[in-house]
């Protein structure tokens, strides 16, 4: 089983991490969360995934990030929403009246696939799944799922392009290079010969 950075939603765990994040970033098993972040949800980050400063997560759902994701500054992730069928919206009043919080069951959790690039100042709403290799432009508000290797931007985020053709997308999802260990990747380079952007001569 591949190691991850896993912060569970408990007072002790979140309290210690958030205290540390006031002064420095947190790095564990090759994953990094930038300083000045504020974590209020359970999070799981895969190897090689890193955020800029100012990540904010909140809600009762998990925020799961695959491997080798590049996440910009000031990302906000909301992992759950109010159940708007409840006659009362205030969580504190719900706890007092009903003994629990009324969470929208259909919109819990946020998942980023592998090799995802998120620009600065992005907001991601509950229930969203961002597919492998996708790009989310700076300042976007992501309200619905993003397919693999798709480029989206705007508020709400809309598709503005694809990174590769469908044959290349199928190929990348099939070989799953992101599952390799770090020392295996250099010998895997020949699998990318059909991608024009590999030249470093520019």
Residues 110 and 142: their CA atoms lie apart, in Å, by 11
pTM: 0.87
Residues 35 and 120: their CA atoms lie apart, in Å, by 15
Q: Which of the 8 DSSP states describes residue 146? A: B
Q: Tell me: pLDDT of 73 over 80.
A: yes
Residues 36 and 49: their CA atoms lie apart, in Å, by 17
pLDDT of residue 202: 46
| 8 A C-beta contact, residue 144 and residue 123 | no
Residue 86, token pair as written in the block? 């409840």
pLDDT of residue 66: 96
Domains with residue ranges and CATH for the chain: 5-164 (2.160.10.10)
Tens-place pLDDT, residues 88-138 = 767 777 677 777 766 655 568 999 999 999 999 999 999 999 999 999 999
Indicate the SS3 state at residue 136: strand
Residue 155, token pair as written in the block? 């508020």
């Amino acid at each position: 089983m591949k190691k991850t950075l896993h912060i569970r939603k408990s007072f002790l765990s979140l309290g210690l991490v958030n205290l540390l994040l006031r002064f420095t970033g947190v790095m564990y098993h090759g994953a990094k969360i930038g300083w000045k972040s504020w974590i209020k949800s359970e999070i799981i980050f895969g190897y090689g995934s890193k955020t800029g400063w100012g990540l904010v997560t909140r809600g009762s759902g998990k925020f799961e990030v695959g491997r080798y994701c590049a996440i910009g500054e000031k990302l906000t992730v909301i992992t759950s929403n109010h159940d708007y069928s409840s006659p009362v919206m205030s969580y504190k009043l719900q706890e007092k009246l009903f003994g629990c919080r009324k969470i929208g069951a259909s919109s819990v959790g946020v998942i980023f696939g592998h090799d995802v690039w998120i620009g600065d100042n992005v907001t991601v709403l509950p229930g969203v799944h961002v597919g492998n290799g996708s790009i989310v432009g700076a300042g976007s508000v992501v309200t619905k799922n993003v397919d693999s290797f798709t480029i989206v931007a705007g508020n709400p985020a809309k598709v503005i392009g694809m990174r590769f053709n469908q044959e290349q997308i199928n190929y990348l999802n099939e070989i799953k290079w992101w599952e390799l260990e770090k020392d295996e990747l250099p010998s895997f380079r020949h699998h990318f010969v059909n991608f024009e952007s590999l030249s470093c001569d520019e």
